[in-house]
Structure 1
Amino acid sequence: MVITATVTEDAPVLHIAAPKGKQSLPHADKSTGRVVLIKHSASSAVDFGAEIYGIDLNNFTDADFDFISDALHKHKLLVFKEQPEMLTPQQQYRLTSSFDPEEKTGGFAHGHDPFLISHNGTNFYGIPKRPAIPVQPQVHILGRGPLPDGHFGFPPGFEVQGIDHEEFHLPPHIPPDEREAGASRFYQWHFDGSLYNIPPPRVGCLLAVRTPKGADVTVRWEDEEGTTMKMAPGATAMVAGSRALALLDDETREIVLHSRIEYAPHAFVWMAGARSSRLGHLIETEGLEKKLEDLPKWEKEKVCVYPMVWKNAVTGEQSLQVHGQGAFKLYLKKSSEGEETVVDDLKEVRAFMDKIMRPVLKPENIYAHPHKEQDVILWYNRALWHSITEFPKSYGPRVMHQCNVAASDHPSG
Structure 2
Amino acid sequence: MPHRQELEFTPIPDAPLGAVVTLPTGITDPADLNDEDFQKLKEGLLTHSVLVIPGQENLAPSSQYQITKRMDPSCEGAYGHAKEFRHDQSVLRRDGVSVPDQPQVQVLGQGTFKNHCGMASIDLRHPTHFDFHQKPLSDEEVANGYTRFYRWHIDSALYGLSPPVCTTLLGIHVPETTKTMKIKYEDTNEEIEIAQAGTGFFSGANAFDALSDEDKELALGTTVEYAPHPYIFISPARATSDGVTMVSEGKEIPLDELPEWEESKVKKLPMVWTNPVTGRHHLQIHGACVYRMHRPDGTVLELEDARKEAYRLIRPAISPKNIYVHPWKKGDLALFHNQGVLHSVTGQFAEGETRLMHQCNIASGIDPVTVRN
Q: TM-score, normalised by structure 2?
A: 0.90
How far residue 145 of structure 1 moved from its aligned partner, in angstroms, is 1.6
Q: Partners of 1:31 and 1:270 in 2: how far apart?
A: 50
Q: CA RMSD in A?
A: 2.1
What does 1:396-407 correspond to in 2, within 5 Å? Answer: 396-407=353-364
Question: Which residue, 313, 328, 341 being the options, matches 2:299?
Answer: 341
What corresponds to 1:74 in structure 2?
47
Q: Which residue of 2 aligns with 1:143?
A: 109
Instruction: Summarize deviations over 1:18-46 as a string: whole Å, max 9, x none.
Output: xxxxxxxxxxxx98422211111xxx6x1
The secondary structure found in structure 1 opposite 2:247 is coil
What are the superposed Cα offsets for residues 252-272 of structure 1, whole Å, 9 maximum, x if unpaired? 221001111100000000000
Displacement after TM superposition at 1:154 (Å): 2.1
Q: TM-score, normalised by structure 1?
A: 0.82
In the TM superposition, what is the alpha-carbon distance from 1:114 to its structure 2 partner?
7.5
- Residue type at the aligned position of 2:18: G
Deviation at 1:180, TM superposition (A): 4.4
User: Are the aligned partners of 2:86 and 2:94 in contact in 1 as well (CA < 8 Å)?
Assistant: no
Match of 2:271 in 1: 308
CA 97–354 in structure 1, closer or farther in 2 if over 3 Å, else same: same
**Corresponding residue to 2:290 among 327, 334, 341:** 327
Amino acid at match of 2:317: V
Contact 1:97 1:106 in 2 (8 A): no
Post-superposition offset of 1:214: 4.1
Q: Which residue of 2 aligns with 1:88?
A: 60
Find the aligned partners of 1:273 and 1:255 in 2 and give their Cα distance: 31
The answer to whether the Cα contact below 8 Å between 2:181 and 2:194 also exists between their aligned partners in 1 is yes
Cα–Cα, structure 1 residues 167 and 109, in superposed 2: closer, same or farther, change >3 Å? closer
SS at match of 2:110: strand
- The match for 2:78 among 97, 107, 114 is 107
Instruction: Decide whether the 8 Å contact of 2:81 with 2:103 is kept in 1.
Output: no
Q: 1:388 maps to which residue?
A: 345
Query: In structure 2, how many angstroms separate the alpha carbons of the residues matched to 1:106 and 1:134?
Result: 16
Q: Which has the higher contact order (CA 8 A, sep 6+)?
A: 2
Match for 2:132 among 155, 168, 175?
A: 168
Aligned residue number for residue 237 of structure 1: 200
What code does the residue aligned with 1:35 have?
F
Alpha-carbon spacing, 1:113–1:325, altered in 2? closer, same or farther (3 Å): closer
CA contact (8 A) 2:55 2:330 kept: no
Asked whether the equivalents of residues 31 and 67 of structure 1 are also in contact (C-alpha less than 8 Å), the reply is no
Report what 2:171 is aligned to: 208
* SS of equivalent residue, structure 2 residue 117: helix
Alignment of 1:4-403 (within 5 A): 32-40=6-14, 46=16, 48-54=17-23, 55-57=27-29, 59-83=32-56, 86-103=58-75, 105-109=76-80, 111-112=82-83, 127-147=93-113, 149-156=114-121, 158-171=122-135, 173-212=136-175, 213-223=177-187, 225-333=188-296, 339-344=297-302, 346-394=303-351, 396-403=353-360
Question: How far is the alpha carbon of 1:127 from its aligned partner?
Answer: 4.6
In 2, are the aligned partners of 1:31 and 1:63 still within 8 Å (CA)?
Answer: no
Residue type matched to 2:336 in 1? Answer: W
* Partner amino acid, structure 2, of 1:52: V
SS of equivalent residue, structure 1 residue 350: helix
CA distance in 2, matches of 1:278, 1:143: 23
Determine if contact 2:79/2:157 at 8 Å carries over to the other structure: no
Q: May I ask how many residue pairs the two structures share in their alignment?
A: 358
- Using the alignment, how far apart are the partners of 1:203 and 1:343 within structure 2? 30
Structure 1 counterpart SS, 2:278 = coil
Question: Any conservation in 2 of the 1:180–1:392 contact (CA below 8 Å)?
Answer: no
Kindly state the Cα deviation for residue 179 of structure 1 after the two structures are TM-superposed: 2.0
Amino acid at match of 1:248: L
Shift of 1:215: 2.1
Tell me the percent identity: 33
2-side partners of 1:139 and 1:110: how far apart? Answer: 8
Task: Evaluate the alpha carbon distance shift between residue 35 and residue 113 of structure 1 in structure 2; reply closer, same or farther with a 3 A threshold.
Answer: same
User: Does the residue aligned with 2:156 lie in a helix, a strand or coil?
Assistant: coil
Gap runs ≥5 in structure 1: 1-29, 117-125, 334-338
**Whole-Å separation in 2 of the counterparts to 1:174 and 1:309:** 33
Aligned partners of 2:165, 2:249: CA distance in 1, in Å? 33
| 1:326 counterpart letter in structure 2 | C
Q: Tell me, yes or no, if the aligned pair for 1:204 and 1:379 is still in contact at 8 Å.
A: yes
Equivalent position amino acid for 1:170 in 2:
Q
Between stretches 392-401 and 276-285, larger displacement belongs to: 392-401
How far apart, in 2, do the equivalents of 1:110 and 1:228 lie?
Answer: 36
Cα deviation code 1:208-266 (max 9, x no counterpart): 0122334211012222x222211111110000001111222221221001111100000
Return the letter of the residue paired with 2:154: F
Q: CA deviation at 1:177?
A: 4.8
Counterpart Cα distance in 2 of 1:395 and 1:360:
34
CA distance in 2, matches of 1:180, 1:381: 34
Mark the runs of 5 or more structure 2 residues left unpaired by the alignment. Answer: none
Structure 1 113/332 Cα, relative in aligned 2: closer, same or farther at 3 Å?
closer
Q: Residues of 1 paired with 2:5 and 2:105: CA distance?
A: 26
CA deviations 1:173-218 (Å, max 9, x no partner) are 2123532442100000011101111111000000001223342110
